[in-house]
Each structure stands twice: as C-alpha cells, then as structure tokens.
Structure 1
C-alpha cells in the first residue's frame, strides 16, 4: 500500500509539474519539441541530438516531457547565446546533484552567475595564468619527459594508454596546485577523481535532478557519492591546512599559495554581497582536478586512437618533428609560444578537438532573464544545453565533417573555428593549460615512439556508450615502439 501511494504521488507530482510548465509557456514562441522522452536514453546522446536539426532546426526542446530545456545544435546558435547575449545565458541550473558536489554552489564550474562568482572565477584564473606563469611550461615538459622515460622502460609492451595519460595529467595538476608530485598523493587524488566521476554519472544520482524529493529515500548511489565527497573534502582540507601552516606572505610556491594569499587582499566589487572564503579555494582545487585530469587525458587518448587509424599522418608528424628538432634521440623541444613551427601537429590537435570534444554537451547553462535565440523565445530559468559536437559536425559549416582530416586547418582563414572548450563567460578556465599539455605530450610522445596497435587490433572510433559528461574512448591498448638509431620505423616489420 505504501509503495502504491509513493508511485501515485510521484506520478501526480510529475504530471502537475509538466502541466504547469506548459501553462506558463503557452503564449511564447518556443523552439520545436521532440515528441516523447525515451530518445534521451540513447547510448551516444550528443551524436543523436546532432541528427535532429534536419527535421527541427538548430534550436529545439529535446522532449515533450521537458519543455524547460532547450538544445543549441549549431555554431551560430551557440555563439548568439554564449557570446552576443552572454549575460542572458551565464547562469547554471541549481540542481540537487550540483549542490551536493559543490559545497552549496561555492564553485566556479557549477556555481550560478553573480558578482561573487565573478570574483571567484577571477581568483582561480589568476592563479592559473599569473601565479604559475613562469613555471607551468617547464613543469609540463619535465613531467612529460619522465612519463616518456617510464613508457620506454616497458619496451613496446601493450599499454592501457588512457590510465597512463590520466596519471600524467593528475601528476601535472598535483604539482601545479600543491607543489608536490609524490606518487602516493597523485594516485590518491587520481583514484578519488575517477570514483567521483563514475559515481556522478550513475543514473541513481542523475535522477535526483529530475525527481529531487527522492533524496529523502535510502539510495545506495547517494551513499556512495557522499562517501566519495567526504574523502575528497578530507584530502583537500589536509592540503589547505599544510599550506596555511607554512605560508609566507609574498611568496607563492604553487597555485594554492596564490589563492590563499588572494583571499587576504581580495576586495569585493561595488554592489556585491558576501566575500570569498577558504571554501572557494577548496572548490577551485576540486574544479582543477575534475576538469584537468579526465578531459585532457581523454583528448590525448582520442589523438592516439586517430593516429593508429591514420599511420600516414603519424609518419608525417614525426617527419615534421625530426625536421624541426633533429634526431628523435635528442632532448630538445619547441616552446609553446613557437608552436607555429609545427603546423601539422597544431592542425592534428584542432581536428581531434573538433571531432571528439571531451565534454560534447558542455555543462548546462540557465537563462538569467528572458531572451531569444534565432528568433525563438527563451524564458528566464530555461536550461540551455550547447551541443558543441553538433556545431563541429554541421555539414553546412564544415567540409566532410565526419572525416579525420587535419589538413582542413592548414590553410589560414580557410576554416571556421571550433568550440571544444565552449565560449563566452563560461568558457573552460583550464583551456590554456589543457592546450599546453596536449601540445607538449603529443610532441614528446611522437618524437620518442611510434604508436602501434596492440596485437594488430585497431581501437574503436566509437565513444564509450552512455557517458553522461565526457566523450570517452572505449578501453584499448597501444604499443609504444621506441624510435631512434636501430629502431624500426612506422610501417616496417616489428
């Protein structure tokens, strides 16, 4: 009887919510609706959404059951909302899962738009771009070189490349934020990030945003999420305590030092309320780990996948590197500011980012006031999802959009720009670091090794199904065959 009563209450709540939404929106010119909602369970939702504009246009609501959500599926629509009308679309939905993971929205990534949020974003961005500006590239180069030396020690044995790359990117983040690359610390934070991402992606957590009152029920997924968050917060607080105990005014050893000292001299903008606190530094640290470990490792894994499928491009990249840097046995490299010396490498990176944006649907936005996109009314409080992948595969914009063709980026001004990190006020803060890492890692990896498929089996070009946030590769291994004197080259017998 209690179960029946609960089901009746759930049905009544959902039905009344739907009818109320339709009633409030009845006078507006809304984007077209996709009938039903079961299509939202598609295994590769960004690719599925890509096909809908042929029938509905580049702006639409993804289901009749969710008229308060709109998808932007073209570059024109995304840039109108996020760049031209960025204030209207700079908000974030205030969902139970976001509140749970962000210490009550004290977060740059999922925090709602406000003057306090702007100050928090400025502090985090300054720590990333100013606090460690002189040390960032040398650290990335050094840690990547150590990574290549570890891979060389495996003598061409099959390697689960995503795991190795995610450990590398986690090491870089640890060193930049904490000034520490000790192996146990790196692995503890790496495992914590992976646990958080897998738990957050689970349907038992995602459904809380659709039916919030389910939070009062005993849910194994929610228990697991809370335990993962407790572990995360304990680890970050321990680093905050260590840094505060040894902080020297005017000296910044790492990003955490920079942000903690930034709190002391922070002055709020005129008309704002509240102040930045240590909890904001806490969540900036979490943002940098979540955004700087998995997404960059995923992009690098896709680059390896595409080069395994296109050995002729890999060979041309190695020839370009050898031509600019000399024999692969030398330890020289090109600085990021001089990356134009490697046009094919830059074009390859852009093509990987275009075809496989690591977060293809970005994070959802929320309208802060009534607005419009391409002539459609968008009410205040509407959830707006920019399908970045849709803008990258638009046949009206890109020639042969589904093809891996780096040459499209070799002609200056002959191609549109992609939006792999979003755009506008909510553009990914970690874009400069991510681009630096991708450039340095691919440069050193291709100089040191020839990438070969393990056991002759090429990895799938299809993403792992049912990934809610990140467009991940399916699990695969690669053989890293050392290059240099006496080593067989690409295409030679092994």
Structure 2
C-alpha cells in the first residue's frame, strides 16, 4: 500500500511539473535538427539570415544552438526591453572558450560577465581613454594622423588608392598612439606588428567553436588544430604584451607623466592597494579591448560611408559643397574639429551610414541571468541573447524606404546613434553599450570631412559608381568583401 501511494505521489508530481512547463509561452521557433539545433540557419551573414527568419517568426524568436537557447530580438520595442527596461538582467555575457583564452580568462570588459570586475574595468577605460576630457587630449593625434592620411592619398594620385587599407592604417595609428603612446605598424620577424596580432585575434574570435554549444563535441577543436592555433596566438600576444609592459616600466623610472592609456593603467597598478590590485593580465586584456573596439569598428564605418558616397554622387556633391564652404572661410587653414558642428549635412551622412551599416550588426551577445518575460514570451535564465541592430535600422515600420541611402531623413528627427533611440543602435545601448562613441566619432568625422574637402573621387578604369560592389564579408564587424579601390584626385584649388 505504501509503495502504491509513493508511485501515485510521484505521478502526481510529474503531472504538476509538466503542467507548469506547458504553461510557459516560449517565442516562436524554427525546426531544430538533432544535436546542432538551429545552427544551420545562421549562414555566413547571420544578421541577414536572422532578419529573413524574423519575417516569419516575429520580432522575438527562439533558436537552439546545440544545447544553448538563443533569443533573437529584431525590433526596436524588443531592444528597448533588453537594453533599457530590463537592462540589468540582460547585462551579462556568455562565456566563449576562445575569447576566454585570448582575453586572459575574461579579464577584459567586452566579453566579461557583468559584475564587480566589469564595473571596475569599464571605469578605468572611461576615465583614462574615452571620457570627454581624454578624447579632447588626443585631438593633436587625430589632427596629425588625418593630415598624414591625406598626404598618403596624394602620393597615389593619379593612380588607384585602396581606401580600405588607408582607413585601417589611420585607425590603427590613432589608437596605437592614444593607448600605447607610439605606432606599431612595422617591425621585423622577431616582433610581430601589433596590428597583425590583433587581426589574428579578431579572426579567431569570429570562428564558430562547436564546443561552446555542444560541450561533448569540444574534442573536435583538439583534432582539427583550432585549440593549438588559439594557444599559439595567445602566446604570441602575451609575449608582445609582456615586452610592452616591461618597456613602459623601464621608461617610468625617468618619466612619470601620464600621456596614454597604458601609462594610466600602470600608474593605477602602482597606486592600487594590496586589497584591490590591478593585475598585469587585466592591463593586457583592457589594452586588447581598446584596440578591438577602437580600430575595427571605426575603420568599418569609414569604409561603408565612403562607399555609399561614391555610389551616390549627388549626396557626395552636397557634402563636398557644405564642407568646402566651411573650409573656404578658413583662408587656407585645415579643417579641424571645431568646424564639424558647422556641418549639419556631414552629421546626417554619418547617421545614415551608421543606420544602414552598423559596425556590429548583431552587437555583442548577452546572457540572461534570470527567468523573465519579454514582450509576452517566457525566456529562460542562461539564454544567449542577440539584438539584430541591422534588422532594426532597416525596419520599414520605422524607416521610409529603409534600404535607400538618404541622409536628408535625419533633418527633421532627433534620432541619433548614441544609444538613446532604439530605432538605430549601431553602438548598442544600456550598461553594455559602447563607451567609446565620442572617441570613435571624433576621428570618423574629422577624417571624412578632410577627405571630401581635399579630393574628388571616381572609379578605377572608368567604372560606373552605381556598380560599386557592396557585398558584405562575414565577420564580427562586417566589412566590405572587396577593398574600396578608388581614384582620388586632389582639388586643383588646394
């Protein structure tokens, strides 16, 4: 009798649990395959694949990547819930094994879990690199490097110039000088150039690691060589960073001035108390973060903007007219950052380009730290959350003719890119929004204004502007697949 009661009690408990789970309203979901789930649907350009899926499954959909639930939000309303109304519980990051190894066990801030370490690291980065005061202190660097950029382009005239390469060099050099106090563009075989190391890190972070989603298949990375490759890149990076810190410590014996981000971090380390030390690995990880966030995204934004301007000659002429009018009133003095606020069309062009081409179209993944309800759907704790910024900024319910490049649309709206308007969030929003918007945009706008002021642009070999290839390359930050090759002709009047 007792056994029967025990069995009945167990059946009743199972029934209650099943009933409780059946009342959950999960977001719509596509067909899952065994083991891999919906990974097959991501494609080479996930932001486009998820945008197509959202037209069928809605603004919030649930995917399954191996054993990991993945929520994709594709509307401004959903983004506002995630990044504003419920920002705190959506503020953490999922743990990815490759990022964990290359970024010193989560000691950076971009991929760090939400908590005390992240708050402390972000505070250091804001205070010593991307605060308004620090951004202004780097103004001479931006001025000098954009001047060097235009001189470099003139040396190619009347030939073909690779603007993608020019923009990459510009952003690397500016960030190098602000973060490290010097450029790392060359070097011999004994010391890998820093920008090459960063390129390898970014490429490795973009690769799909099956073990992160199907843990029991993690052994594959040991067999196919990925794990060994990650370890090789980490050792190369750490060797470079160790030499860098050693160089700075030796310099500090005779010079105590704080002139760049690395100086500031090492000074904080010296001043930190034993109870709250700043470890070397934290300094290394934060330096890598500042390069990852400050170079790739700014270069990408410049590349897409110039590509759109070349494809749209009328818009280019309107922008050149505005910029050159401001320059004409300066009597031969170069355009500087004080002039940028006199250029409303340049501001509109910047916003429109960021709307169409957000540098990180899916932002950086988030991880939900507790069960919640999102627009009527039950979302489980631990879900990986992706906000499709690219889909939101092309939503026809928010934007008229959303796929057209029309800067004029920003003349009669207060919508901006700084994370306060969820119709376009190219730099994210909320606690995990990009803190370096001012740093990035000050360089972006100065470089853009000087380019359109000093050069006229055309296609190589007499090609038509409207035929410019705008295909996207797969990656975390989405670049043009083919480099931006142009003929840049200096203005005769300059």
Report the TM-score range of the alignment, normalised by the length of the smaller protein: 0.7 to 0.9
Indicate the structure (1 or 2) with the bigger Cα radius of gyration.
Answer: 2
- Listed as ranges, the matches of 1:150-189 within 5 Å are 150-181=152-183, 183-184=185-186, 188-189=193-194
1:70 counterpart SS class: strand
Query: Are the equivalent residues in 2 in contact too, given 1:353–1:420 (CA < 8 A)?
Result: yes
CA shift, 1:38, in A, is: 5.7
- Match of residue 29 from structure 1: 25
- Listed as ranges, the matches of 1:302-341 within 5 Å are 302-326=304-328, 330-335=332-337, 339-341=340-342
Tell me, in whole angstroms, the C-alpha distance in 1 between the residues paired with 2:485 and 2:387. 33
5+ residue gaps, structure 2, are: 1-17, 33-37
Q: Does 1:462 align with 2:462?
A: no
Describe the shift of the 1:26–1:91 C-alpha distance in structure 2 as closer, same or farther (beyond 3 A).
farther
CA shift, 1:200, in A, is: 2.9
Q: Does 1:355 align with 2:356?
A: yes
Q: Does 1:449 align with 2:449?
A: no
1:428 counterpart SS class: coil
CA shift, 1:254, in A, is: 0.9
Query: Are the equivalent residues in 2 in contact too, given 1:108–1:117 (CA < 8 A)?
Result: yes
- Match of residue 239 from structure 2: 234
Tell me, in whole angstroms, the C-alpha distance in 2 between the residues paired with 1:152 and 1:67. 52
Query: Are the equivalent residues in 1 in contact too, given 2:162–2:486 (CA < 8 A)?
Result: no
- Listed as ranges, the matches of 1:409-420 within 5 Å are 409-413=410-414, 418-420=424-426
Q: Deviations over 1:269-302 (max 9, x none)?
A: xxxx965322111111001112222221111111
CA shift, 1:216, in A, is: 6.9
Tell me, in whole angstroms, the C-alpha distance in 2 between the residues paired with 1:147 and 1:34. 48
CA shift, 1:82, in A, is: 1.2
5+ residue gaps, structure 1, are: 1-21, 488-494
1:332 counterpart SS class: coil
- Listed as ranges, the matches of 1:390-401 within 5 Å are 390-401=391-402
Describe the shift of the 1:64–1:178 C-alpha distance in structure 2 as closer, same or farther (beyond 3 A).
closer
Tell me, in whole angstroms, the C-alpha distance in 1 between the residues paired with 2:141 and 2:43. 41
Q: Deviations over 1:180-227 (max 9, x none)?
A: 126426981111112222233334xx2232234326733323322221
Please give the TM-score of this superposition, normalised by the length of structure 2. Answer: 0.86
Q: Does 1:244 align with 2:249?
A: yes
CA shift, 1:431, in A, is: 1.8
Describe the shift of the 1:160–1:483 C-alpha distance in structure 2 as closer, same or farther (beyond 3 A).
closer
1:482 to 468, 472, 489: 489
- Match of residue 10 from structure 2: none
Q: Deviations over 1:79-107 (max 9, x none)?
A: 21111211100111122122122211111
- Match of residue 118 from structure 1: 119
Tell me, in whole angstroms, the C-alpha distance in 2 between the residues paired with 1:478 and 1:164. 10
Tell me, in whole angstroms, the C-alpha distance in 1 between the residues paired with 2:23 and 2:101. 35
Query: Are the equivalent residues in 2 in contact too, given 1:328–1:447 (CA < 8 A)?
Result: no
Describe the shift of the 1:24–1:44 C-alpha distance in structure 2 as closer, same or farther (beyond 3 A).
farther
